[in-house]
Structure 1
Amino acid sequence: MKNDCHYHPLEPAKWVCGECLIHYCSGCMPDADPRRQHGLCPHCGRTLRYLGAATEAEPFWQRLSAFFRYPFHRDPLMVVAFCTLVPVFLGQGILGWITYVVLALVLFKYTYAVIRHTAEGHMKPPPVNAAWSGDGFAIGIQQMVVFIAMVLLVGFAMAVLGPIPGLVVGALVVLALPASIMVLAMENSVFSALNPLNLTALITAIGWPYFLLYGFLVLMTMASGAAQDFAVSHLDPVIAQPLTGFLNSTYMLILFHMLGYLLFQYQQELGFASDYQDDDTQADPQRDRSRRIDADIDMNLKEGNYDRVAGILEESLKRDPANPNRLEQLYRLALARNDRQSLARHHSKLLRWMVALRRHREMKALLTLLRQQDPDFQVADPELAVASADLLFLQHEPKPALQLLRDFHKRFPDSDQIAPAYLLVARILANGFEQWDKAGSFLRFAAKHTSDPVLTETINHYLERGRRQEPLKAPRASFAPRHE
């Protein structure tokens, strides 16, 4: 049975908790390990069961073009070319026949590697060394034993039961042949591949799509046979022999890839789990931790556990106080809940985030909410107050900027930000409200609270412009050498 994610109904489930009976997609379980098929339920902490790609694998009949392209990748083409061309040059002698048998075993080994590779979630062919390296050559002999046993069974049925019952047995054997190949690929056992109970169980688990696949295979076998017969009948043997070998080898690769994909598609019914492997990359642990938090927030929001979401965000901000994503999530959650106490408690972090990202609209809204709760609210950090006021002023919000700097010298009598604060107040009064006299008073007050020559020069420049009632703009940069 195919299941969708409990929290994201449009996404296929990849994990299920046997205790909570909740299905999760990959987005809900970013910290789970599909390779080791290990993950813990976010709710109860128990080990999840991995579903693999069973819920998202598209039906095999929608991938026919991909099946026919499969043999024409580099690695299978190399195997096919070698197994096809070498016998041509060796002739029909004893050496040629021995080589032919060895290459047939090599081809069988590679095609069975294709089944396993595909069933494990690899939609790209296995490397060429899968045909040569390691063990596994016995699989070709095992397959030949299976074929011989099936032929003997049909012959025995015809001799003992008669022609018609024998034909019925032969039809059933041919129908079970794809299932036998799949069982042999997964079990590596001749007995398992010939056991009627195993074959019946596999066919029953897959259901009607097995018979649809069987129909495709019959059509492909007829087409391949007709093409090979045409080549033998109408072409020179020098061309016909390698061409028929090529057609036979590519047909086998297509057939075994389709069988492997059928195992992959119906993995849940067959009792194993695998996922698409070709595009997997090693996950960054830090990124996974962040995604785990995002997933927990998303799930708790969907369940209405807003207090839990707030707790997750506050814990995260203890570890990373300047994380912009968490700060924005905290701000949005507090706004949605009208949680002004949370906004007041975290206002310093939120304002720093807004200053860093130039979020002046959010800043104005936050300050408005905080002053509705506490009319006397002021920012407790002098540098943050100046930076916030500067952002608001630059974004044409002079009134809230002035509010941030009200009585600055009384609130922070020992701060080195007094001069920059009142320089900004003067600019707001002059440029925003054309109050030149008040602007001049603040400039002279700022001059008394700084010994910085650059700041003093800027203040004098502003005083001169204020006397002429010109907007207070910074002096133009000059690269000319100064004369002492």
Structure 2
Amino acid sequence: MKHDCHYHPGDPAKWHCGECQTHYCTRCMPDADSRKRHALCPHCSRAMRYLGAATEVVPFWNRLSAFFRYPFHTDPLIVIAICTLVPLMVKPNLLGVIITLVLAVALLKYTYDVIRHTAEGHMKPPAVSVAFTGSGFNIVILQLLVFVVMGGLVGAAAMVGGALLMMLTLAFVVLALPASIMVLAMERSVGAAVNPMNLAVLISRIGSPYFLLYAYLILLTLASGAAQDFAATHFPVWFSQPLAGFLNSTFTLILFHMLGYLLFQYQEELGFASDLQDEEAPGDVQHQDRSARFDADIDINLKDGNYDRVQSMLKEALIKDRDNPQRIGQLFQLLSARNDTAELYRYHPRILGWLANRNDGDSLATLLEDLEGVETGFRLDDPELAVHCARSLYQRGQYKALLKLLQDFLKRFPDSNELAPAYLLVAQALANGLNQWEKATAFLNFIQKRCANHPLHGQIATYLNQAENREPLNGPKASFAVGE
């Protein structure tokens, strides 16, 4: 069953809290450990159930092309080549028979490992070594025992209930064969793989897609048989035999990969959880990033309407890291949305600096107007910050807000090194923005007389000449000439 995240509708849930009955996606749980399947609920701090990829996996009928590409990866091709071609090259003696049987067992082991590998979330085939090393070679004996037990069940049904019960039992055995293969691959148990109740529960939990997959498997089997028959009919023996073996192995891998994917798709209904393992999960990348957990908590609390809680969290964060631009921006957005002018006034130096760094002159003008409402005649006490904000206001065309911000700058900061930049901005706002050339010229003359030692002094003559000609006060043009 597909579950969406409670806080991000449309995003598949990866975690579920049984206490709060809430589903969370990876954005809500950046600190969760999906590999260890461990995460604590942001609300009640209790361990949550990991849903894996159950809520976002693509249905198997939408990725048929990927199934057919699966055997043509390097590893399965090598396994197929070894298990198909080597038996054709050995002599038909005892040693050749043994080699052929061993390779047949290795190929069958590999196909059953494909089911488990896929069910665990690996969409890339297992390595070549899986076919020839490790445990699991007894799968051949287990599968033979399953066939024997199933045949015994059909025979017992014939003796107990006659032909009718035998046909019903046979129909069930044929229908449940894919389910039996899946159970055997996952549990390595003959009893579980032949238990009618166990198989019936598996089929019922998957539902109608099981029968759709069954139809695909029949078509694959018929296609494999037809391809092998075509090869035997139209090609010489030396070519048709390896081709038939290759086709048979290829279709078998496709079939077993589909069975494994069905388990992966319906993992939640079947009582286990796995995720895509071929790439690192986003949650693991951010596992050590505490700021990601903090941002997720802010997002959750905002969507729950806990605005006071979010405000307290941000203020506490700014005590630990007072100049963190991300937290300052979040606090500004929250205080603006809540129209909390008192708190805006309290944090105004940091917020104004943050807005100036973003060159957000429009928001600066609005905030300065709000601060004026809290403190009549509000002025900044920091000359560098005042000029920094004025520059952003000028670039956004907020000329009147700039003039108000820099009003009485000489009186408040008579010895500041920012005096020349401040009054140059005033002159540019008056001339370029408000078309008040006489006032602009007066400020330029003041800079020329008062700020003789400032680096800007050498450019004032150019500005005065532009003001006299009613040209925009843009200063000297850049020159790339190289002196001799």
TM-score of the aligned structures, taking structure 1 as reference length: 0.89
SS of the residue corresponding to residue 107 of structure 1 reads helix
Aligned pairs for 1:46-85 within 5 A: 46-85=46-85
Percent of aligned positions that are identical: 58
2:188 maps to amino acid: N
Aligned pairs for 1:401-416 within 5 A: 401-416=402-417
CA distance in structure 2 between the aligned counterparts of 1:31 and 1:259, rounded to whole angstroms: 33
Aligned pairs for 1:53-452 within 5 A: 53-155=53-155, 157-158=157-158, 162-233=162-233, 235-281=235-281, 283-285=284-286, 288-433=289-434, 435=436, 438-447=439-448, 450=451, 452=453
Q: Deviations over 1:435-471 (max 9, x none)?
A: 5554455445445654635333234554566567665
Q: Contact 2:14/2:51 (CA < 8 Å) preserved in 1? A: yes
Q: Contact 1:317/1:326 (CA < 8 Å) preserved in 2? A: yes
Q: Is residue 2:457 matched to residue 1:456? A: yes
Instruction: Report the alpha carbon displacement of residue 155 of structure 1 after superposing the two structures with TM.
Output: 4.4
CA distance in structure 2 between the aligned counterparts of 1:453 and 1:223, rounded to whole angstroms: 87
* C-alpha distance 407-136 of structure 1, shift in aligned 2 (>3 A): same
SS of the residue corresponding to residue 16 of structure 1 reads strand
5+ residue gaps, structure 1: none
CA distance in structure 1 between the aligned counterparts of 2:362 and 2:165, rounded to whole angstroms: 85
SS of the residue corresponding to residue 125 of structure 1 reads coil
SS of the residue corresponding to residue 52 of structure 2 reads coil
5+ residue gaps, structure 2: none
Instruction: Report the alpha carbon displacement of residue 21 of structure 1 after superposing the two structures with TM.
Output: 0.8
SS of the residue corresponding to residue 402 of structure 1 reads helix
SS of the residue corresponding to residue 23 of structure 1 reads strand
CA distance in structure 1 between the aligned counterparts of 2:437 and 2:219, rounded to whole angstroms: 93
Mean Cα deviation higher: 88-97 or 162-171: 162-171
* C-alpha distance 17-87 of structure 1, shift in aligned 2 (>3 A): same
1:103 maps to amino acid: L
Q: Contact 2:286/2:292 (CA < 8 Å) preserved in 1? A: no
* C-alpha distance 476-241 of structure 1, shift in aligned 2 (>3 A): closer
* C-alpha distance 254-422 of structure 1, shift in aligned 2 (>3 A): same
1:185 maps to amino acid: A
What is the root-mean-square deviation of aligned Cα atoms in Å?
2.9
Mean Cα deviation higher: 164-173 or 21-30: 164-173
Mean Cα deviation higher: 466-475 or 365-374: 466-475
CA distance in structure 2 between the aligned counterparts of 1:202 and 1:470, rounded to whole angstroms: 83
* C-alpha distance 478-339 of structure 1, shift in aligned 2 (>3 A): same
Q: Deviations over 1:189-242 (max 9, x none)?
A: 233323334323322332333233223323332332343344445543222321
Q: Contact 2:31/2:288 (CA < 8 Å) preserved in 1? A: no
* C-alpha distance 198-11 of structure 1, shift in aligned 2 (>3 A): same
* C-alpha distance 334-115 of structure 1, shift in aligned 2 (>3 A): same
SS of the residue corresponding to residue 32 of structure 1 reads coil
Q: Contact 1:420/1:446 (CA < 8 Å) preserved in 2? A: no
* C-alpha distance 476-113 of structure 1, shift in aligned 2 (>3 A): same
Instruction: Report the alpha carbon displacement of residue 324 of structure 1 after superposing the two structures with TM.
Output: 4.4
Mean Cα deviation higher: 433-442 or 19-28: 433-442
Q: Contact 1:105/1:141 (CA < 8 Å) preserved in 2? A: no
Instruction: Report the alpha carbon displacement of residue 80 of structure 1 after superposing the two structures with TM.
Output: 1.3
Mean Cα deviation higher: 418-427 or 247-256: 418-427
Q: Deviations over 1:108-138 (max 9, x none)?
A: 1211111111111122222222222322222
In the alignment of these two chains, the number of paired residues is 483
SS of the residue corresponding to residue 56 of structure 1 reads coil
CA distance in structure 2 between the aligned counterparts of 1:256 and 1:465, rounded to whole angstroms: 81
* C-alpha distance 456-87 of structure 1, shift in aligned 2 (>3 A): same
CA distance in structure 2 between the aligned counterparts of 1:123 and 1:299, rounded to whole angstroms: 33
* C-alpha distance 153-457 of structure 1, shift in aligned 2 (>3 A): same
Q: Contact 2:118/2:264 (CA < 8 Å) preserved in 1? A: yes
CA distance in structure 1 between the aligned counterparts of 2:168 and 2:262, rounded to whole angstroms: 26
Q: Contact 2:361/2:395 (CA < 8 Å) preserved in 1? A: no
2:392 maps to amino acid: L
Q: Contact 2:150/2:173 (CA < 8 Å) preserved in 1? A: yes
CA distance in structure 1 between the aligned counterparts of 2:85 and 2:388, rounded to whole angstroms: 77
SS of the residue corresponding to residue 273 of structure 2 reads coil
CA distance in structure 1 between the aligned counterparts of 2:170 and 2:312, rounded to whole angstroms: 68
CA distance in structure 1 between the aligned counterparts of 2:448 and 2:80, rounded to whole angstroms: 87
2:456 maps to amino acid: L
SS of the residue corresponding to residue 363 of structure 1 reads helix
Q: Deviations over 1:44-70 (max 9, x none)?
A: 111111111112223323333322222
SS of the residue corresponding to residue 39 of structure 1 reads coil
* C-alpha distance 422-98 of structure 1, shift in aligned 2 (>3 A): same
CA distance in structure 2 between the aligned counterparts of 1:314 and 1:232, rounded to whole angstroms: 78
Instruction: Report the alpha carbon displacement of residue 249 of structure 1 after superposing the two structures with TM.
Output: 0.9
CA distance in structure 1 between the aligned counterparts of 2:52 and 2:468, rounded to whole angstroms: 76
